Amino acid sequence: MKRLAILLYSLISFTAAAQQFAFELWHEGKLILDTGDTLRGTIKYDLQSDLLQYQANQQTPKLESYTARKVLFFEIYDGTVKRYRIFYSLPYSSAGQYKAPVFFELLEEGKLTVLCRENLEYRTSTSFYYYGSYTRLVLINKYFILKENGNIEEYRGKKNDWYELMRGKEDEVQKYVRANRIDLDDKYELAQALNFYNSFFVK
């Protein structure tokens, strides 16, 4: 039994170590610089450092790096989730600091515009198969609300608190979420619910 527990722990540890996050991979896409130039090729992004690496093509493997100050917008096709993802460089201030350009993924735009940033955190979990716990690195999504005045505020509520931002339509959205079995903890399912809410305000 002890050997089995050790084997299972090793497998869990290996899986956690072997997983690859989207920001560790190269993606086909394009970026628009602050000069107005559009570049197409492969892109690797790092939201924690607000840095992009760009490569025009495989034949000319020259790498170029750009900070959020030099990029207005970039778009990639993320094969890990099989969808296009759009990011903007927007001025943001946290903890009373001065505003600086930061990369945000656009999750949903409309009456309620929601942005997203990825963050890595270590989480400790208890295993059912052996006595003890293990720590692994997980990707956490942090959400932000883009206000009509252009200010960006971090969303600190829980998943059901989203309905408080949908006043006047919360009942309809809740019914939609239940009918479609939407998990508001899932980033792209959350986007689906936000899109439904915003559809009430499309002229």
Query: What are the extents of the domains in the chain?
Result: 2-156, 159-203
The whole model's pTM is what? Answer: 0.82
What's the token pair of residue 77? Answer: 């096709």
21 beta partners = none
User: Pick from 139, 121, 138, 133: which is nearest to 8 by CA?
Assistant: 133
The token duo for 175 is 């019914």
Listed range (8-17, 75-84, 103-112, 125-134) with the worst mean pLDDT? 8-17
pLDDT in tens, 118-153: 988 777 766 665 566 767 778 889 999 999 999 999
Predicted confidence (pLDDT) per residue in 149-203, tens digit: 999 999 999 988 999 999 999 999 999 999 999 999 999 999 999 999 999 998 7
- 8 A C-beta contact, residue 74 and residue 64: no
- Condensed to tens digits (0 to 9), the pLDDT of residues 26-81 reads 999 999 999 999 999 999 999 989 999 999 876 667 889 999 999 999 999 999 99
Residue 128, classed as helix, strand or coil, is coil
Indicate the residue type of 104: F
